[in-house]
Structure 1
C-alpha cells in the first residue's frame, strides 16, 4: 500500500476513533496435489525434493515408492509436512523391500509395512491404516481414501496361466526386484497377502460410501486399479507386477471422482466413465531429465488432483500423455494426444 494512503487510513477520525481496517484479501482456495515414485536412493532426486516450495493451505498425496529405507521416509515426510497443510502416503513396493544391509533388523512383509506406517504417523502423515478424512478445499468436498492392495499377477494375457506368469515375463529377461526383496510374511504368498489387502480395502471403501452418501472419493493406491491403464512399451511383461484385476470396477463401485496411482513412471491422465485417473510418478533421474533441461523442477511435476482439469469434451481424446507440466488451466501441460506415445 502507498505510505500516504496508509497514513490516511491510520489517522484518527474527528471523534478520536480509528476507522475500521481495510478488508483482508480472501485466502487462495486450497488445492490438492500428488506425486509418486520419488526414489530418494538417487542423489539427484534427494536434491530435487529440497526444492519443494511451501503451499501452507494445500494438501499433498505421496503415492508410494519414496525409497527403500526408514531414512528415505523421514527425509520425505520432514520436507513434505513443512510445505503442506496435510500429507497422505500409501506404500509402494520399494518401501516394502527388506534390504540385505538393512539397519532396521531386516523387518519383512506386513511388519515392514507397519514400520513405515508408524514413521508416517510420527509426522502426522495419513496412511491406509488411518481413518479417511474429508477434503474441504477447492474441488471438494471429497473423501480422501488411501488404500494398499499390492498385486496378484492377474494382469497378464489370457493365454498365460498363473503358474507360468513369472516364466512368461522372464522370456523377455524381465524379473522384478520384488521377487528377491519384497517378502510376504506372515502370508503364504504375495497373492494371499494381496487378497487380504483387497478385502480390507473393499470393506473400508464401502463403509466410506455409506457414511458419506453423495460425496465423491479420491482413491489413492500405488498400483493402478485397471489393467488397461498400464502402458509400459519398453518392458511390457513387467505388467504382472502392476496390480490386480480385483480392483477393475472400484472407480464406479466406490463413487470415485479421481483415482491417483504411480508405479509405472509414465505420467498420464485418463477418463473412464465419470472418473479421472492420474498417474503421478516422478521416476528415476534420467526419466525426467528433459524437464530439468527445460528449466523445470519438482514443483512443475506436482499433479493437481483437486480441483484438477476439466473432463474432455465430446470427441476429444480421453487419454492425455504428460511428459511434464501440471496440466492445470493456469499452467497447460504438453499433451501428446491421439494415441501418440510419450
Structure 2
C-alpha cells in the first residue's frame, strides 16, 4: 500500500449483511489502521433498522469518520422489522438515525478528505436504478421484467422495496439523479471527488454477472458519465457481490462488497478486507480480488 505518513487512509467496504452471524463477526473484527482513518460504507449493512444501527454504532466508535450510502436492503420493509416505514419515509428515518450516530449521509454536506491523496470531496450518493440496463432484445422495462419473471431471476426489491410516495422505483431514481446532479454541480470545482453509491455508476461493470438480466436492478444510464463529469478520483460501489478493481475512462472503480457467506467462502481473499481508496494503493490489480 502507498505510504500514508500516519495521516490516515480513506477506506471502504459494503454489503456487510450483518443479519448473517458470520458477517456480524466480520464487522466485529473491522479495525482502522490509524486513528485518522475514515470508512466509507457503500450500503447493504443489514435488512432491519436495528441491524443497521448496531453496525454503524460499532464502526463510528472505531473510525475517525464513517460515511454511508444506503443499499437496497436498507430500503426494504421486511416482515418482522418493528420499523414498518416504507420508501422515502424509511430512508429519512435511516438518515436521522445516522445523524444521531455522527455518520455522514447523502443528505448532508459533502465532507472533504484532507489526508493523504487529498483534498477530495467525498460524495455519498443515493440513486437507485431505473431498469434502463436491459438485456439486448428487450426494448421496454416491462418486457425485461417479464423475462426476469419467466426465468426466475427476480430481485427481492420487487416485493420489499417500496417507492412511496413515488409511483415507481424508476420515478424515485429520476428524482434522486436530478437532485444529486444539482448538488454535485454546486461543489467546489477545484477539488476532485470520490463518488460512493451502492449501485454502480456505469453498466460495463455488470457485464460479468452470471445472470445478465439482473442488471436491470443495478443502476441507470443517467450516471454513465458522472465519473468524468464530476472529476472522480475514484468511484466506490457494491451491490454486485463481485469485489474487484476496474478502470473506466482512466478512473478507478472499486467494488468493495463482503457479500453473503456462501459467496465469500469461495474466494481466495479473506472476507472483511477494507479497500484503500486514498491514498491510491500501489499496484492495484485490474481484475477480481
Identify the TM-score tier after normalising by the shorter chain.
over 0.9
Q: Which residue of the partner structure matches residue 220 of structure 1?
A: 196
> How far apart are the structure 1 equivalents of 2:21 and 2:151?
30
Which of 57, 66, 71 is the matching residue for 1:87?
66
> How far apart are the structure 2 equivalents of 1:273 and 1:310?
19
> How far apart are the structure 2 equivalents of 1:192 and 1:213?
29
> How far apart are the structure 2 equivalents of 1:66 and 1:236?
24
Pairwise CA distance, 1:47: 1.4
> How far apart are the structure 2 equivalents of 1:82 and 1:227?
35
Q: For 2:288, what is the secondary structure of its paired residue?
A: strand
Which of 284, 304, 307 is the matching residue for 2:260?
284
Instruction: Map 1:4-15 onto structure 2 (within 5 A).
Output: none
Larger radius of gyration: 1
Q: Which residue of the partner structure matches residue 43 of structure 1?
A: 21
Pairwise CA distance, 1:56: 1.8
1:113 is aligned to 2:91: yes
Q: For 2:64, what is the secondary structure of its paired residue?
A: strand
> How far apart are the structure 1 equivalents of 2:86 and 2:193?
31
Structure 2 residue runs without a partner (length 5+) = none
CA deviations over 1:315-334 (Å, ceiling 9, x no partner): xxx83211xxxxxxxxxxxx
Counterpart contact for 1:73–1:120, Cα < 8 Å = no
Pairwise CA distance, 1:157: 2.6
Q: TM-score, normalising length from structure 1?
A: 0.79
User: Which of 1 and 2 has higher RCO (CA within 8 Å, sep 6+)?
Assistant: 2
Q: TM-score, normalising length from structure 2?
A: 0.93
CA shift in 2, pair 1:274/1:214, >3 Å: farther
Moved over 3 A (4+): none
Q: Which residue of the partner structure matches residue 288 of structure 2?
A: 321
1:127 is aligned to 2:109: no
Q: Which residue of the partner structure matches residue 155 of structure 2?
A: 176
CA deviations over 1:101-141 (Å, ceiling 9, x no partner): 2211x100000111111111111000000001110011101
Q: For 2:36, what is the secondary structure of its paired residue?
A: strand
Pairwise CA distance, 1:169: 1.6
Q: Which residue of the partner structure matches residue 231 of structure 2?
A: 255
Counterpart contact for 1:52–1:79, Cα < 8 Å = no
Counterpart contact for 1:34–1:60, Cα < 8 Å = yes
1:70 is aligned to 2:43: no
1:309 is aligned to 2:287: no
Q: For 1:57, what is the secondary structure of its paired residue?
A: coil
Number of matched pairs: 284
Q: For 1:260, what is the secondary structure of its paired residue?
A: strand
Q: Which residue of the partner structure matches residue 242 of structure 1?
A: 218
Q: Which residue of the partner structure matches residue 4 of structure 1?
A: none
1:150 is aligned to 2:117: no
Counterpart contact for 2:77–2:162, Cα < 8 Å = yes
> How far apart are the structure 1 equivalents of 2:114 and 2:142?
46
Pairwise CA distance, 1:297: 5.1
Instruction: Map 1:161-172 onto structure 2 (within 5 A).
Output: 161-172=140-151
Pairwise CA distance, 1:41: 0.9
